[in-house]
Amino acid sequence: MDINILKTLKGHIEFSDTGKGTPILFFHGGHSNCRETLFHKGFDTNKYMLITPSRPGYGYTPLEDHTTPEKTAELVHALINDLGINKVIVYAISAGGLSGIAFAAIYPEKVDKLILASAVTKKWLKKTDKVYKAGKKLFNPRMERNTWSMVRTFSGIFPGMIAKNFFKQFSSAKPHNLDKADIKELIATFAHYRSKTGFMSDLEHDIPNYMLSKIHCPTLIAHSKNDKSVSFDHAEHAYKQIPNAQLLTLENEWGHLFWIGKDATETITKILKFVENEKTTE
């Protein structure tokens, strides 16, 4: 996987790319950046080119004035143009959902298909919500480095305990003894996590409803009823608004993180069928 920083007409943007073939453009979730590969699972890099920009405020992409989904889409559009790519399949995850939606709505000529994975599709949190308040305290630019440093330190000492605590944040499924392979995969995902200024921006993101109705490309909404991070009503909201959408309803073990667990392969296979022009069973 190659990582570069490109100076575009809309500003600097960091991105990773790997593979060759049909371009898949990922809008990563909160606390992440272009180094995350969990959502790459299942993609054959001999058939697909996987492009993951660090959204503004994450990695080495400066936030600057790119504080809205529309501005993020504008910056990523400049990246895609500079890379000489005519069309992409957009794959938007969690807090990256609104930016992916904005990209598909504003630049329809660039988007072949849209995948919304555990995605935020409307205003995520109210300022009175406990999660919002906790996020402001733990992941603001002054605190986030220490927060993630502590997570990684304790993950190395007590991986099972950390995984159980995060499982409760991601899934409403009944707590149980977690598989060692799942714990290892979760801990590995945290290795590159930093909130920087990006997560504070994510907490304020919103888009108008009409933007969803402007999306006319084939769209797959994959979301779990066990998702405790981004509630299932985000999937229902998008499904009602996007004209050409399919809803893949999951009841998987890990809820929000449907790339982890014994049931992950089935979900990933269904997403790949959609990518490869086959209808996905709901």
Clarify whether 94 is annotated catalytic: yes
- What domains are defined for the chain? 2-125+200-275 (3.40.50.1820), 130-192 (no CATH)
Cα–Cα distances (Å) from 42 to 45, 118, 275, in that order, read 9, 17, 11
Q: Which of 16, 32, 54, 94 is catalytic?
A: 94
The phi and psi torsions of 249 (rounded to 5 degrees) equal -90, 125
Give, in degrees to the nearest 5, the angle at Cα 132 between 228 and 143.
110
**179-222 pLDDT, tens digit each:** 999 999 999 999 999 999 999 999 999 999 999 999 999 999 99
Cα(251)–Cα(274) distance, rounded to whole angstroms? 19
pTM for the predicted model, two decimal places? 0.96
* pLDDT averages per 10-residue partition of the chain, 282 residues: 98 99 99 98 98 99 98 99 98 99 99 99 97 97 98 97 96 91 96 97 96 98 98 98 97 97 97 84 50
Cα(67)–Cα(83) distance, rounded to whole angstroms? 23
- Alpha helices per DSSP H over 139-228: 144-157, 159-170, 180-189, 198-202, 210-213
Structure tokens at 52: 């993951």
Neighbour-count burial of 237, counting CB atoms closer than 10 A to its CB (0-12 exposed, 13-18 middle, 19+ buried): middle
pLDDT number for residue 41: 97
Q: Are 93 and 230 in contact (CB under 8 A)?
A: no
pLDDT number for residue 172: 97
Q: Are 224 and 232 in contact (CB under 8 A)?
A: yes
